[in-house]
Amino acid sequence: MSYAFDLGRKVAIVTGANTGIGQGIALALAQAGASVVAVGRSSMDETRELIAPTKVPFRAVAADLSSLEPIEKILDAAEDLGRVDILVNNAGIIRRADAIDFTEQDWDDVMSLNLKTTFFFCQAAARRMLKDGQGGKIINIASLLSFQGGIRVPSYTASKSGVAGLTKLLANEWAAKGINVNAIAPGYIVTNNTEALRQDEKRSAEILSRIPAGRWGRAEDIGGAAVFLSSQAANYIHGTVLPVDGGWLAR
């Protein structure tokens, strides 16, 4: 592996790493040499087994990020492995309903986890990264709906549009201090969040017909982008929202 992409001796926190995109990112970072702190609400056994062959240090932290309370505890646990160099804010939820019927609870739940927790985790990690002047890498997980409106997901669209804007704001404030803040905007990826779409034969066919790559994305498709943005190769990249979408936005 080229030195520019080598994450050896780095410590990375990945939220929502028990499945899907978060699991794919955690595995990719581990394969690049990073020690991984995997955060999630459910069992991390599968992620642990996938990462085990890399021989990198691994720690699973059970936490519900629908509140801010676990953030400092997660950072403390991560520092048992060393200085936190990389934070990937992947944890998120989606609720689907027509806008005319959307509930306040579904709005608040999604906005709290996807946007509020993302901001305050960035803040808490940056405070520690700034303390020793060594900087770090923060990667937020945005969405195609950071660029488009979508349908039947009003709070998800609002939250992911917010993540894109927040990423740029934090980059403006922290770039000169050595912290790179960027985001990845996954396209239609095979995860739990897209299961309802994939089970809808008509909607799935409509989606697939627009993807130039001709397939749904896989979690590992996001991993390479995460390694790049976490590495020295991306030292001069700040405030970017990188689509990994099989060409969806190009069509």
Active site residues: 156
Cross-strand bridge partners of residue 238: none
Pull the structure tokens for residue 234. 């991306």
**Structural contact between residues 244 and 217, judged by C-beta atoms closer than 8 angstroms:** yes
Cβ neighbours of residue 231 under 8 Å, at least 6 residues apart? 4, 5, 6, 7, 32
Handedness of CA 142, 26, 8, 3 (dihedral sign): negative
Handedness of CA 206, 209, 212, 217 (dihedral sign): positive
**Structural contact between residues 27 and 220, judged by C-beta atoms closer than 8 angstroms:** yes
Pull the structure tokens for residue 103. 């509930």
The strand order across the sheet containing 11-15 reads 58-62, 35-40, 11-15, 86-89, 136-141, 179-186, 241-244
- Bridging pattern class, strands 11-15 and 86-89: parallel
What 3-state class would DSSP assign to 35? strand
